[in-house]
């Protein structure tokens, strides 16, 4: 019962699926994007990194985003015990974009799909991929169910799985692997930011560190709405009782900087809780398919790397799939898996060392070392493949080493 044949079938129309689709369409391949929900739909992941501007630019998606007037993000602010650590993306080790956006994802993702549809990219909404069967030569048959329960099949030469937390191929092919990161959870919502202060303070994206392991994100959007969310060990989130709204209201009291601004504001939707959000897989590709974005890996929200990895991996996977469709040899292990893992590895170290407290020592130690700050800033901007940056090249040991030196300095100072 094959009804359609395409070169590439893309599962999911989030940023990852859209970047892959934009690239493959531009190269003249026949594609079909299958998306389970109806857009606009809510999804978390609102703070972007400058590196993803490279990806949107490469597939001509920057202009349609610019037109929407999303809040410009020029850096990120971290607060802890009255110490402020401000990263300014224009002061970073690696050359590249020095700004990006903070966005409500419902509108952002719809902007991307609208633009693709204008270009003639076929996206079928409210259709769910329920099964994919691969033949030995890598060609596949994908089963798709629409909202009325009707089923159809699409034959494809290649499948890009950009299904985010749907994790379609990891589930179907048994590729899930426990994440090496601690089991953390998050609770978040949006508010109409009625007491938003004027000028920069009102627009700054901030991570307010309330305990060594728990922190509050504040992400103001240009539409007057602000995203608020706590992240921490599951036990921390579970230590609050009541409805999700009661829990989050209680937690807001932990933030001395923000409590007065957000106390008693009505939440726009009951806070959503996500537990054990870190995900990993045993392999990022196989014959006839590649996993991109959250379907492949998700680390932690602390450095906002999710969407950037989603678009980085999508652009790579689409480029390589296109090469393969044009009968050129592709080394998926080296050019996809190893490349992606290299970047993931750098961010994974930063996430781990954030929660061990070592990285926080570097952020909040005073006086600041401007050279180190520039190097870390490049990582926080998403430029995690630049080996000229010692904080990329030596990520496994450098954070630990500098934290140790800070400890020794603090010991000396207290004597």
Q: Which residues bind ligand FAD (CB under 6 A)?
A: 11-17, 34-37, 43-48, 128-129, 162-166, 168, 186, 274, 277, 293-294, 298, 301, 304, 306-308, 310
Measured CA to CA, the distance from residue 318 to residue 160 in angstroms comes to: 8
The nearer residue to ligand FAD, 312 or 324, going by C-beta atoms, is 312
Q: How far is the CB of 370 from ligand FAD (least distance, A)?
A: 26
In the complex, what is the shortest distance from the CB of residue 414 to ligand FAD, in angstroms, rounded to a whole number? 37
Which residue's CB is nearer to ligand FAD, number 237 or number 359?
A: 237
132, 168 contact by CB (below 8 A) = yes
Output 163 or 360, the one with its CB closest to ligand FAD: 163
> CA 107 to CA 306: how far, in whole Å?
17
Cα(195)–Cα(255) distance, integer angstroms: 16
> For residues 48 and 362, which CB has a smaller minimum distance to ligand FAD in the complex?
48
Q: Provide CB contacts within 8 A for 273, sequence distance 6+.
A: 185, 186, 187, 237, 244
Closer to ligand FAD by CB, 34 or 403: give it. 34
Least distance in Å: CB of 57 to ligand FAD? 17
How many residues does this entry show for the chain? 415
Nearer CB in complex with ligand FAD: 55/361: 55
Shorter beta-carbon distance to ligand FAD: residue 29 or 36: 36
Question: Given CA atoms 239, 241, 243, 249 in this order, what sign does their dihedral have?
Answer: negative
Q: CA-CA distance, 236 to 249, in Å (whole number)?
A: 15
State which residue, 227 or 249, has the beta carbon closest to ligand FAD. 227
Work out how close the CB of 297 gets to ligand FAD at its nearest, in angstroms, rounded to a whole number. Answer: 9
Nearest approach in angstroms of CB 251 to ligand FAD is: 14
The residue (of 113 and 358) whose beta carbon lies closer to ligand FAD is 113
Instruction: Using alpha carbons, list the distances in angstroms from residue 242 to 60, 238, 248.
Output: 47, 10, 9
CB of 187 to ligand FAD, least distance (A): 8
Q: How far is the CB of 277 from ligand FAD (least distance, A)?
A: 4
User: Is the previous residue joined to 334 through a cis bond, with omega within 30 degrees of 0?
Assistant: no
Least distance between ligand FAD and beta carbon 316 (Å) = 13
* Min separation Cβ 135 and ligand FAD, Å: 21
Give min distance, CB of 394 to ligand FAD, in A: 25
CB-CB neighbours of 80 under 10 Å: 17
In the complex with ligand FAD, the residue whose CB is nearer, 144 or 398, is 144
């Amino acid at each position: 019962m094959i009804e359609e044949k395409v070169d590439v079938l893309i599962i999911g129309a989030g940023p990852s699926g859209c970047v892959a689709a934009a690239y493959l369409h531009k190269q003249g391949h026949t594609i079909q994007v299958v998306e389970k929900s109806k857009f606009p739909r809510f999804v978390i992941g609102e703070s972007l990194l400058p590196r993803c501007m490279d990806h949107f630019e490469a597939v001509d998606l920057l202009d349609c985003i610019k037109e929407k007037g999303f809040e410009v993000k020029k850096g990120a602010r971290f607060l802890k015990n009255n110490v402020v650590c401000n990263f300014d993306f224009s002061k970073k080790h690696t050359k590249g974009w020095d700004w990006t956006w903070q966005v409500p994802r419902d509108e952002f993702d719809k902007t991307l799909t609208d633009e693709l549809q204008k270009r003639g990219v076929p996206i079928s909404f409210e259709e769910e991929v329920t099964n994919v069967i691969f033949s030995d030569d890598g060609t596949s048959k994908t089963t798709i169910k629409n909202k009325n329960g009707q089923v159809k099949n699409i034959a494809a030469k290649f499948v890009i799985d950009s299904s985010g937390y749907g994790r379609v191929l990891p589930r179907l092919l048994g590729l899930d692997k426990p994440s090496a990161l601690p089991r953390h959870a998050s609770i978040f919502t949006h508010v109409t930011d009625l007491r938003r202060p004027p000028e920069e303070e009102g627009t700054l994206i901030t991570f307010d560190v309330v305990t060594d392991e728990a922190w509050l994100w504040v992400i103001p959007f240009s539409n007057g709405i602000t995203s608020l969310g706590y992240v921490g060990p599951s036990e921390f989130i579970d230590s609050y009782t009541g409805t999700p709204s009661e829990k989050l209201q209680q937690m807001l009291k932990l933030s001395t900087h923000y409590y007065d601004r957000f106390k008693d504001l009505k939440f726009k939707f009951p806070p959503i809780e996500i537990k054990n959000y870190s995900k990993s897989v045993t392999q990022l590709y196989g014959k006839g398919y590649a996993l991109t974005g959250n379907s492949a890996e998700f680390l932690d929200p602390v450095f906002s790397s999710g969407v950037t990895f989603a678009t980085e991996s999508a652009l790579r996977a689409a480029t390589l799939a296109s090469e393969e469709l044009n009968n050129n040899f592709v080394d998926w292990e080296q050019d996809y898996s190893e490349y992606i893992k290299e970047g993931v590895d750098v961010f994974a170290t930063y996430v781990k060392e954030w929660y061990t407290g070592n990285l926080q020592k570097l952020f909040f130690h005073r006086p600041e070392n401007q050279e180190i700050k520039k190097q870390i800033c490049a990582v926080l901007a998403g430029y995690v493949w630049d080996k000229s940056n010692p904080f990329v090249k030596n990520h496994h040991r450098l954070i630990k080493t500098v934290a140790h030196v800070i400890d020794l300095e603090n010991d000396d100072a207290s004597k």
